[in-house]
Amino acid sequence: MLAEVIKTQRKINRLTQEELGKKLGYTTGQFVCAWEVGRASPPFEKLKALSKVLKVPYQDLKEEFFNDVTEKVKMKYGIKTK
């Protein structure tokens, strides 16, 4: 889950939510908090910057992002997979 990756890597890099938010161009850490609890996802266009700040391969974040989106769509439309 992208939320877990963001939270874990933020802590490993010893950043507060506010510090991470500011490094990504936000004025507060509210967006980061929402991402970490799964209430929202970071904008796709922020993934490259997020990968650099958190020192995580971009491809890994992108994969987690799309996995989360896929799961949300499946849940919304009641799609079941084998």
pLDDT in tens, 20-74: 999 999 999 999 999 999 999 999 999 999 999 999 999 999 999 999 999 999 9
Pair 36, 17: CB distance under 8 Å: yes
CATH topology of domain 2-77: 434 Repressor (Amino-terminal Domain) (1.10.260)
How confident is residue 80, by pLDDT bands cut at 50, 70 and 90?
confident
What number of residues does the chain have? 82
pLDDT of residue 16: 98
What is the 3-state secondary structure of 37-59?
CCCCCCCHHHHHHHHHHHCCCHH
Q: What is the DSSP letter of 27?
A: S
pTM: 0.90
Radius of gyration of the chain (CA): 13
Task: Check pLDDT > 80 for residue 82.
Answer: no
81: helix, coil or strand? coil
